[in-house]
Amino acid sequence: MFKYLVKEGGGKYPINKCLNDLLGYRFIFHSDLTLDDVYREIEHYINENYSDNMVKIQNASKLDYKALHIYFKISNQCFPCELQVWLQKDHSNNVKSHRIQKQAYLDWNIYERDVLNAKREGEFDVL
């Protein structure tokens, strides 16, 4: 959660964005289908079987990262969950991109230090 406090936005992020980073799964799809084809199939299935935005799909592709993210929030009493869908052909680039863009939380001790320093300097009213 520290990363959301110290990155651009100063901690002003929807709670679901933070919670989705706590629980998630990844499915690597071995197929000749395109990501757009997979998106359409999953979107059709979601529309036919779920209502009230309990399950949402998003094409999360950006630069070298090619993936679909499916968000599950069955009720307000359930923990939200994210499923990442990757194609096997994108796996290598996604791992590299994910390591750079998405896994900065591995340096949590740096974030904690930065947040504590910012708090001492009066930039954040947290902790």
Predicted structure pTM score: 0.67
Average pLDDT over residues 35-57: 93
Q: What's the whole-number mean pLDDT along residues 81-91?
A: 94
Radius of gyration of the chain (CA): 17
Closest by CA position to 68, among listed 33, 19, 99? 33
Both tokens assigned to 90: 């994108």
Residue 84 backbone zone (phi > 0: left; psi -120 to 50: alpha; other: beta)? beta
- Percentage with pLDDT > 90 across the chain: 39
What local confidence, expressed as pLDDT, does residue 21 receive? 64
Q: What is the pLDDT confidence band of residue 121, given thresholds at 50, 70 and 90?
A: low
More reliable by pLDDT, 3 or 83: 83
Across the chain, mean pLDDT equals 78
Question: Above 70 in pLDDT, residue 12?
Answer: no
* More confident of the two residues 105 and 79: 79
Q: CA 12, CA 47: separation in Å to the nearest integer?
A: 31
